[in-house]
Amino acid sequence: MIAPSILSADFARLAEEMAAVRGADWLHVDVMDAHFVPNLTLGLPVVESLRKATDIPLDCHLMIEDPDRWAVGYAEAGAHNVTIHAEAVRDPRAVARDLRAAGAKAGLSLKPGTPLDPWVEVLRDYDTLLIMSVEPGFGGQKFIPDVLDKVRTARRLVDTGHLKVIIEIDGGINADTIDQAAEAGVDCFVAGSAVYNTDDPAAAVAALRERASAHRS
């Protein structure tokens, strides 16, 4: 799966960008609040508009404080998957329950320095696990390969039936890094610069998909 990150999109070209991501599986929507991360992007009204503008499943990544309060609104706005941050949430089980009740998948994200082990039990209530391979906040950063240990552990837990999550990775994914992420066991690759900083985003999605697929057994 390939999920272009909308943070890197040129909003003035939104309609064109939407067409370009038709070959992708999900559209990754980076919601930042200038508190949890030092950047401010878009919020619920934009997600509601996006929902009307495209059929592609919206993968909303909430890099915000107090996801316990805000996350369910994104599910109600029609997001396919709503990911909150482990470092920000107070009651992760309640958030997962509410997201699912509102018809969305529930996602949990870990920053690069946040270990997986303390979250494994909680992840039994979640549908997606987003492993950050950069510090959240900005596109165009360098991939942090150390996080692949978490991917490998998560892959083992999924393959042995302990977890049922889709494993996503986000940050610095491009033609040079996608192979190692795929090899470690990632299911869904979020890519911003590698898709939108090209002349042909649709071709970039196709090329990333081909590289990732080569590692699937």
Ligand X SMILES: O=C(CO)[C@@H](O)[C@H](O)COP(=O)(O)O
Q: Which residues bind ligand X (CB under 6 A)?
A: 5, 7-8, 28, 30, 61, 134, 136-141, 170-173, 190-194
Q: Name which of 181 and 184 has its Cβ closer to ligand X.
A: 181
Q: Which residues of 70-97 are buried (b: 16+ CB within 10 A; e: fewer)?
A: bbbbbbbbbbbbbbbbbebbeebeebbe
Q: Which is nearer to ligand X, 97 or 112 (CB)?
A: 112
Q: Active-site residue 127, yes or no?
A: no
> Cα separation of 159 and 203, whole Å?
31
Residue type, 184: A
Query: What is the nearest approach in angstroms of ligand X to the Cβ of residue 69?
Result: 21
- State how far the Cα of 169 lies from the Cα of 154, in Å rounded to an integer: 12
Q: Is 109 annotated as a binding residue?
A: no
Q: Please indicate whether residue 91 is annotated as part of the active site.
A: no
Q: Please say which residue, 30 or 157, places its beta carbon nearer to ligand X.
A: 30
* Kind of pairing between the strands at 166-170 and 81-85: unpaired
Residue 33: CB minimum distance to ligand X, A: 12
* 30 assigned to a ligand binding site: yes
Residue from 30, 33, 59, 187 carrying the catalytic annotation: 30
* Nearer of residues 36 and 126 to ligand X, judged by Cβ: 36
Tell me whether residue 140 is annotated as binding: yes
Is 172 marked as binding a ligand? yes
Amino acid making up residue 192 = G
Residue 164's contacts (CB-CB under 8 Å, 6 or more residues apart) are 124, 127, 158
Which strands make up the sheet holding 105-110, listed edge to edge? Answer: 2-4, 188-191, 166-170, 128-132, 105-110, 81-85, 58-63, 27-32
Active site residues: 30, 170
Could you tell me which residues are annotated as the binding site for substrate? 5, 61, 137-140, 170-172, 192-193
Residue ranges of the binding site: 5, 28, 30, 61, 137-140, 170-172, 192-193
